[in-house]
Amino acid sequence: MVPPSMELQRTVSVNQIPPQPSIISAAETAISLSLKKPTSIAPTMTKRRPGRPRGTKNLKPSSQIQPQKKRRPGRPPGTKTMKPPLKNMKSITGTCSQPKTVSRDPPKAVPKRRKAAAVKRLELFVTISVAGADISPRIFPSVQDFLHNHCQAGIFVVERGGSLLNLHLQGVIAIFGTSPLDVKKRLTAVIGWADDRPIGAGVCVKKLSNKGIHTFVRMVGYCLKDRKELHFRVCMKDISDAVQCEGMLLYTFYGAADLKNRVELNPSNIMERALQYNKFVSHHPLGTSFQGCIRRMLVGGHYTPSTGWLINKGMDLTRTTSMWRAYLQPGALTMADVKNIFFWMPRQYPSRFIEGVHPGLQLMKTSVLEDLRDSVTSQSLPN
């Protein structure tokens, strides 16, 4: 049972609710609205300028448009810098019917065929040697065969080197060939060094420069410089006696002297060289004197006196003879020659000025010398 107060309150609240449409009327209203066509609400647009289509704002008038150039027939667009496809070029996929691929890399350059070198007459200087040893005498006949069978003219000799004193073959030849290297290969094959070469052996072939001593005739004289030695052997082809004489004469003009391989003893280095020689070379148990050490140095052939011992001192015949013997025959040098070269003192000659112009002074000089002699004699006598 509801209390009367609650019933009264409920009646009042119900009376205050406004009247609402029914559910059926609301559904009918919704269906009627859905069946009507929706009205599009479009924004207002400004009117476009008549006579100009859309997207042609920046185009030039037809009067200013230049006509397009005609394209070269037969070339598709975009292939201006492309190279034509190579012939017989296989595609990447093999035998498929796909278009052939064209490489953009430049074609490889085909090397040009060099022309064969022309055969010409060469004048060459040849040296055959073995480092640190003498050349074998069995090689000389092979060199002789090469000279007579391959060369037009030339000379080969056996000589001894000035520095290392080793026997070697020296020669100058005139031969037909393409280059000095070609001649070197032919000579190496003839003497048997192409496959089996001794240790340190070598063949040097150089072209003559035709300057100084490096001419054919002068080099003939150079090859004959050891003609008086015991080890000298020679083989020649088409070298006349006149060419030999001319070559030896020209070698005396242009050739280097034998003194180039010797150490000069001058006033500035004679003591230093003598000390080194006495310490490391001279093995005399009792030692030697200074002049004895100098003599042994000169006799060995590796030292020679400098011409500074003769400069500004006059050409004394005795001293010059000793110097000449030291140059030509060092082994025949005597102790007297060493004293004449290194310990020579000028002689005291009377002055011509005193003798010729002032004869009275000569008498005064004579009297002074006599007084000195008498004083020395008196001091030497016992008291």
Is position 138 within any domain?
Answer: yes
**Boundary (domain end) residue, out of 219, 237, 256:** 256
* Domain span at 276: 262-342
Q: Are residues 282 and 248 in the same domain?
A: no
Regarding whether 214 and 276 lie in a shared domain, the answer is: no
Domains in the chain, number:
2
On whether both 159 and 275 belong to a single domain, the answer is no
Is 39 inside a domain boundary? no
Six-digit token pair at 226?
A: 């050891």
Contact between 126 and 146 under an 8 Å Cβ cutoff? The reply is no
The verdict on 243 and 126 lying in the same domain is yes
Question: Do 181 and 268 lie in a common domain?
Answer: no
Is residue 100, in this structure, part of any structural domain at all?
A: no
> Does 381 map to a domain?
no
Same-domain status, 221 and 169: yes
CB 326 within 8 A of CB 337: yes
Distance in angstroms (rounded) separating the CA atoms of residues 180 and 172: 12
Both tokens assigned to 176: 């037909």
One domain, residues 175 and 291: no
The domain boundary residue, chosen from 236, 256, 276 = 256
SS3 88: coil
Composition of the chain by helix, strand, coil, percent to 5: 40, 15, 45
Helices marked H in 17-155:
23-35, 140-150
Same domain, 228 and 283: no
Q: What is the CATH number of the domain that holds 155?
A: 3.30.70.1910
Return the bridge partners of 203, or none.
128
- Distance between CA atoms of residues 218 and 251, nearest Å: 6
- Is 215 among the domain residues? yes
Instruction: Label the pairing between strands 303-305 and 263-265.
Output: parallel
User: Where does 255-316 have alpha helices with state H?
Assistant: 270-280, 290-299
pLDDT of residue 331: 84
Q: Which residues contact 309 (CB under 8 A, 6 or more apart)?
A: 266, 267, 323, 341, 342, 344
Long-range contacts of 222-228 (CB under 8 A, 24+ apart): 222/170, 222/172, 222/247, 222/251, 222/255, 223/155, 223/156, 223/157, 223/159, 223/170, 223/171, 223/172, 224/155, 224/157, 224/248, 224/251, 225/159, 225/251, 225/255, 226/157, 226/159, 226/160
Q: In this structure, are residues 121 and 202 in contact, taking their beta carbons and an 8 Å threshold? A: no
Q: Is residue 209 a part of any domain in this protein?
A: yes
**pLDDT tens by residue, the chain, 383 residues:** 555 555 545 544 444 555 555 555 555 665 565 555 555 445 555 566 666 666 665 656 555 556 666 666 666 666 655 565 555 555 444 555 555 565 667 777 777 777 777 889 999 999 999 988 899 888 999 999 999 999 999 999 999 876 667 899 999 999 999 999 999 999 999 999 988 888 889 999 999 998 888 999 999 999 998 888 888 999 999 999 999 999 988 888 877 666 667 888 998 999 999 888 888 887 666 567 888 889 888 888 889 898 888 776 667 788 888 888 888 888 888 899 998 888 877 655 555 544 444 555 455 555 556 665 665 555 554 44
The conformation of residue 188, written as its DSSP 8-state character, comes to H
Same-domain check for residues 219 and 175: yes
pLDDT of residue 92: 47
Length of the chain: 383
- Claim to verify: residue 239 and residue 301 sit in the same structural domain: no
Q: 217 Cβ partners below 8 Å, 6+ apart?
A: 243, 246, 247, 250
| pLDDT given for residue 355 in this prediction | 46
My answer on whether 241 and 273 are in the same domain is: no
| Rounded Cα–Cα distance for residues 93 and 95 (Å) | 6
Is 76 inside a domain boundary? Answer: no
- Would you state the pLDDT for residue 12? 46
Domain boundary residue, one of 256, 290, 309? 256
- Note whether residue 306 is domain-resident: yes
What pLDDT is recorded for position 226? 87
Q: Which long-range contacts (CB under 8 A, 24 or more apart) does 14-20 make?
A: none
Are both 249 and 124 inside the same structural domain? yes
- pTM attached to this predicted model: 0.51
Q: CB–CB of 264/306 below 8 Å?
A: yes
